[in-house]
Amino acid sequence: RDEFAAILEDCSLLDACAIAENIRCVVQRYEYMGKKGIHRVEVSIGLTVLVPGKTSPEDALHDADSACYEAKHAGRNRVWVHSDSGHTADA
């Protein structure tokens, strides 16, 4: 299991969702041969909006991680957005 973070500067939430969905689709096309045959790679992506002067690095990572967990909990292989209300939603 690998995790990584990306910060998209000057990017609207709508554009960030489109970028994340594009990444999800590209990764999903990757296949590899395992002991039990061909497997597809899936990716769950959690997004959060950074508010300059308000969002600490720790809070940003926590919110994105929470959204990623919700994406996994909702069935994996999807993009999920953390909102300011503390709730998350399918992108």
- For residue range 57-89, what is the model confidence (pLDDT) as tens digits? 999 999 999 999 999 999 999 999 997 655 555
CB atoms under 10 Å from CB of 63, counted, come to 22
C-alpha 38/C-alpha 56 separation (Å) is 41
Asked if pLDDT for residue 34 goes beyond 60, the answer is: yes
pLDDT score, position 1: 63
Q: Degrees (nearest 5) of the Cα angle 11, 13, 19?
A: 70
Model confidence at 5, in pLDDT bands (50, 70, 90)? confident
User: Which residue is it, tokens 């609207």?
Assistant: 12
C-alpha 91/C-alpha 88 separation (Å) is 9
C-alpha 29/C-alpha 7 separation (Å) is 24
